[in-house]
Amino acid sequence: MPKIGFIHFDEKGVVREDTVEVTQEQLGCECILPARFLGGTCDKFYTCKYSVKVDCKASPSKLAENILKDMKEKQAAGEKTEGLNERAEEVVCAMCGEVIKDEDGPCYGEEGTDYEGKPLCEPCYYEDEPYATIYFGGEDAEPCYISSCRNETEGAFTVQWHRTDPWRGYYELKSDAYVEVFTDAILSGHESEEMLKKLYDIVLERFEEEEIDFVRAFCRSSNVFSTGLEIWVKKDLVQLLKAYIIIADAKQAVDYDNPLYSTGILMPRDALERFKSLVGQKHEVHTDADLIDVVEECGQDFVPEIVEAIGREGKE
């Protein structure tokens, strides 16, 4: 099979040399742009007459999308347009990039989502992993999902990504109709997991007894072992007062504020105790979060401080 060599810039602006095998049919057309054989964007994606016939690997550039949009608007206005190829009649999924071949046509991202108004194939629309799973009420309530393209809460809730650093974070709910009365993280395998389950069961039972209009939700985080638990109550003064009293009672019943549940998360407990013995007189450190706060406050100065404390301990 004949080969063609290309010297071109890659996405990072680095000069590359690539060689590809080509068929006689591919050589028989006039287009020899690198994007056609190697992938990449093309300004003539919707107007090139060879694109479909020669198995072109290019994708549409922003200019190509603008050209298509302009021509479609002219067609809708009754103006004559020529030059569009078969691809112009195809609808491509905004999530996976594949041509949508569903019999009922594309789904569209719902209002307020990342893919609002954009066409999506059924698998991407229905199988996209939810940011949050919401239940309006107790154990009999059906789950409602908020994902990058769906919001099944009818606008009662939206989600927001809370970034803790450039790589990590978690989703949290926002609402104008409900007030958040409790939130915590369910940590798989940690002692707090069982405690939160007991608190959760107590709160749900009491809320239903008091006929409180509440919502419970589970939100994703970047940590696969951590899931956000949120409980919300309808904006009503009497219901909110009842909810806060019930949650306070439940916290006391399960010993919610026991330091056991706020340690052993970011580091082994013996390591935390070691830090406490070294810096406890200067810094107030009781939990993992306290130690992180100290590290963030002291920055680079904290390491020499620890080294100095270890040195003093060795002399005693």
DSSP 167: S
Q: 270: how many CB neighbours lie within 10 A of its CB?
A: 8
Do 180 and 234 contact (CB within 8 A), yes or no? no
Q: In total, how many domains does the chain have? A: 4
Higher-confidence position of 5 and 232: 232
Q: Do 117 and 100 lie in a common domain?
A: yes
Q: Do 159 and 231 lie in a common domain?
A: yes
Do 169 and 162 contact (CB within 8 A), yes or no? yes
pLDDT-derived band at 69, boundaries 50, 70, 90: confident
Q: Is the pLDDT of residue 232 over 90?
A: yes
With CA atoms as reference, report the closest residue to 180 among 116, 229, 123: 229
Q: 312: how many CB neighbours lie within 10 A of its CB?
A: 10
Q: Do 236 and 156 lie in a common domain?
A: yes
pLDDT-derived band at 104, boundaries 50, 70, 90: low
- For helices 288-298 and 302-315, the axis angle rounded to 10 degrees is 110
Measured CA to CA, the distance from residue 223 to residue 170 in angstroms comes to 8
Residues contacting 72, CB < 8 A, separation 6+:
88
Q: Is the pLDDT of residue 144 over 60?
A: yes
pLDDT-derived band at 245, boundaries 50, 70, 90: very high
Range 109-134 average pLDDT: 91
Q: Do 281 and 303 lie in a common domain?
A: yes
Q: Do 257 and 275 lie in a common domain?
A: no
Q: What is the pLDDT of residue 40?
A: 78
Instruction: State the burial class of residue 139 (Cβ atoms within 10 Å of its Cβ: 0-12, 13-18, 19+).
Output: exposed
Q: What percent of the chain has pLDDT over 70?
A: 82
The domain of 55 spans: 3-88
Pair of tokens at residue 42: 């093309």
Pair of tokens at residue 115: 């893919």
DSSP 99: B
Range 226-231 average pLDDT: 93
Pair of tokens at residue 261: 């549940």
Q: What is the pLDDT of residue 238?
A: 95
Range 21-47 average pLDDT: 74
Average pLDDT, the chain: 82
Q: Do 118 and 69 lie in a common domain?
A: no
Q: Do 161 and 257 lie in a common domain?
A: yes
Q: Is the pLDDT of residue 90 over 70?
A: no
Range 80-99 average pLDDT: 73
Range 156-162 average pLDDT: 93
Tell me the pLDDT tens digit for each residue of 271-310. 777 777 776 667 777 777 777 777 777 777 777 777 776 6
SS3 at position 95: coil
pTM of the model: 0.62
Range 181-203 average pLDDT: 91
Radius of gyration of the chain measured on its C-alpha atoms: 29
- Out of 70, 101, 128, pick the residue that ends a domain: 128
Q: Do 307 and 255 lie in a common domain?
A: no
CA angle in degrees (0–180, nearest 5) for 116-226-130 = 20
Q: Do 103 and 84 lie in a common domain?
A: no
Q: What is the pLDDT of residue 311?
A: 66
Cα dihedral: 56, 60, 61, 65 (round 10): 150
Q: Is the pLDDT of residue 39 over 90?
A: no
In the chain, which residue ranges form alpha helices assigned H by DSSP? 24-27, 34-38, 62-76, 122-127, 191-209, 237-253, 269-279, 288-298, 302-315
Phi/psi for 99 (5° steps) reads: -65, 130
Higher-confidence position of 43 and 171: 171
Q: What is the pLDDT of residue 231?
A: 96
Q: Do 84 and 103 lie in a common domain?
A: no
Q: Which residue has the tokens 């099979």?
A: 1
Measured CA to CA, the distance from residue 185 to residue 302 in angstroms comes to 28
Q: Is the pLDDT of residue 79 over 80?
A: no
Q: Do 159 and 274 lie in a common domain?
A: no
Span between the terminal Cα atoms of the chain, in Å: 80
